[in-house]
Structure 1
Amino acid sequence: METDGEKGFWLYDLRVETVLDGRTPVCRHVEGESFRVVGENLVFDGPAKISMFALASVLPLLPAKQRETAADDWMSTDAEVACPDPHCGGRLRIVREDRRWFSHAATTGLPDQRGTPYWKEEE
């Protein structure tokens, strides 16, 4: 995919928020606490905390959720991930937000195609 002649790709920024919807948590799940996924970074605002076990259950899904998917693909339609403790009612809801363009040159590790890393361009 190209934008203004530059090869690259779009990724969604994500918000991952704790939801209980009346269910009882066993692990530390506080309804409404959240973090964002911006590019490859997890961004925590304020004093938000998350169980490392719950985080482990959602991490493998985040890169796929950032990418464009077909409208009927389950990655497009399903948004909640259960806490891995079978007795816990906590869920993590993944919400797609804005899209962000990443150039291939700013994100590749291939030396002959590499440009300025995207995270240095933001400074």
Structure 2
Amino acid sequence: MSDSADGDMEIYDLKVTVDRIEGRSVCGMAVGDHFELTNSAHLRLPEGKHFCVYALASVLPFLAAKQRDLAEGDWLAQDSHFICPDPEERLVMKVERTCRRTMNSADLT
């Protein structure tokens, strides 16, 4: 994979951060906990940290779209908050684009 200018596609790296917890933290996460999605599909967690698999599952379907340019006015281009499905927790995550990367689509599946 390459982040050089000779690639044929552009994609964003993302950071998903626990923005707030409006209930009780059942899964042991805290505000500020996060993971990064880089190079299209590399999920990175800070050393010694975890991210709840159910919170991850709730945001996962949107990450591929957030990595790409979206049409002006697309609701997903405007919204950046997602919520974990646990009703006791009400954990809210924020998805941010951290950098734009040029990649070669032939390197990806």
After TM superposition, the score normalised by the length of structure 2 is 0.83
Structure whose residues are more often helix by fraction? 1
Secondary structure of 1:20's counterpart equals strand
Q: Deviations over 1:67-107 (max 9, x none)?
A: 10023211111011111112322111100111111112222
Give the aligned partner of residue 76 of structure 2.
75
- What is residue 116 of structure 1 aligned with on the other side? none
Q: Which residue of 1 aligns with 2:26?
A: 27
**Percent identity over the alignment?**
32
Point out the more displaced range, 33-42 or 82-91: 82-91
Runs of 4+ displaced beyond 6 Å: none
**Match of residue 16 from structure 1:** 16
> Relative contact order (alpha carbons < 8 A, sep ≥ 6): 1 or 2 greater?
2
Normalization by structure 1: what TM-score?
A: 0.75
Shift of 1:26: 4.1
